[in-house]
Amino acid sequence: MTDALLVARAGMLTTVQDCGRWGYQGVGVPVAGPMDWYSHALANRLVGNAPNAAALEVTLIGPELIVEGQVVCAMAGADFEVTIGGGVVPAHQPFTARGGSRVRIGARRAGARASLAVRGGFDVPLTFGSRATHLVSRMGPFDGRALRAGDRLPIGSADQESIGDAGIPLEMPRGGARVRVVPAAHRERFTDEAWRALTSARFIVTPQSDRMGYRLEGPVLAHVRGADILSEAMPIGAMQVPSSGQPILLMADRQTTGGYATIANVITADLPLAGQLAPGDWIEFSACTHGDAIGALRARHASLAGART
d(Cα 239, Cα 262) in Å, to the nearest integer? 5
For residue 255, the domain's CATH number is 2.40.100.10
Q: Are 201 and 287 in contact (CB under 8 A)?
A: no
Task: Give dist(CA 74, CA 95) in Å, integer.
Answer: 6
Nearest to 124 by CA among 28, 55, 216: 55
* pLDDT tier for residue 1 given thresholds of 50, 70 and 90: low
The band of 2, judged by pLDDT with boundaries at 50, 70 and 90, is: confident
* Residues 18 and 87 both lie in one domain: yes
Q: Tell me the whole-structure pTM to 2 decimals.
A: 0.95
Whether the predicted pLDDT of 130 surpasses 70: yes
pLDDT given at position 158: 80
Same domain, 21 and 129: yes
pLDDT of residue 166: 76
**51-65, 119-133, 152-166, 200-214: segment of lowest average pLDDT:** 152-166
Sign of CA dihedral 68, 74, 78, 80: positive
Note the pLDDT tens digit of each residue in 149-194: 999 999 998 865 556 567 999 999 999 999 999 999 999 999 999 9
Q: Strand pairing partners for 285?
A: 179
Same domain, 110 and 234: no
Residue 169 lies in a domain: no
| Band (85; pLDDT cuts 50, 70, 90) | confident
For residue 62, the enclosing domain spans 4-154
pLDDT of residue 165: 60
Whether 149 and 200 map to the same domain: the answer is no
State residue 163's pLDDT score: 60
**Number of domains the chain is built from:** 2
Pairing of strands 282-287, 228-233: unpaired
Task: Indicate whether 171 belongs to any domain.
Answer: no
**What confidence tens digit (pLDDT) does each residue in 234-293 have?**
999 999 999 999 999 999 999 999 999 999 999 999 999 999 999 999 999 999 999 999
Q: Is residue 278 assigned to a domain?
A: yes
Instruction: Dump the DSSP string for the chain.
Output: ---EEEEEE--SEEEEE-S--TT-GGGT------SSHHHHHHHHHHTT--TTS-EEEEESS--EEEEESEEEEEEEEEEEEEEETTEEEPTTS-EEEETT-EEEEEEEEEEEEEEEEETT-B-PPPBTTB---BTTTTBSHHHH----TT-EEEB---------S--PPPPPPSSEEEEEEEE-TTGGGB-HHHHHHHTTSEEEE-TT--SSEEEEESS---BSS-SEEEEEE--TTEEE--TTS--EEE-TT--SEEEE-EEEEE-GGGHHHHTT--TT-EEEEEE--HHHHHHHHHHHHHHHTT---
For residues 185 and 135, membership in a common domain is answered with: no
147 and 206 co-located in one domain: no
Mean pLDDT of the chain: 95
In a domain, 161, yes or no: no
pLDDT in tens, 22-43: 999 999 999 999 999 999 999 9
Asked if residue 252 and residue 119 are part of one domain, the reply reads no
Does the pLDDT value for residue 205 go beyond 80? yes
Query: 51 and 148, same structural domain?
Result: yes
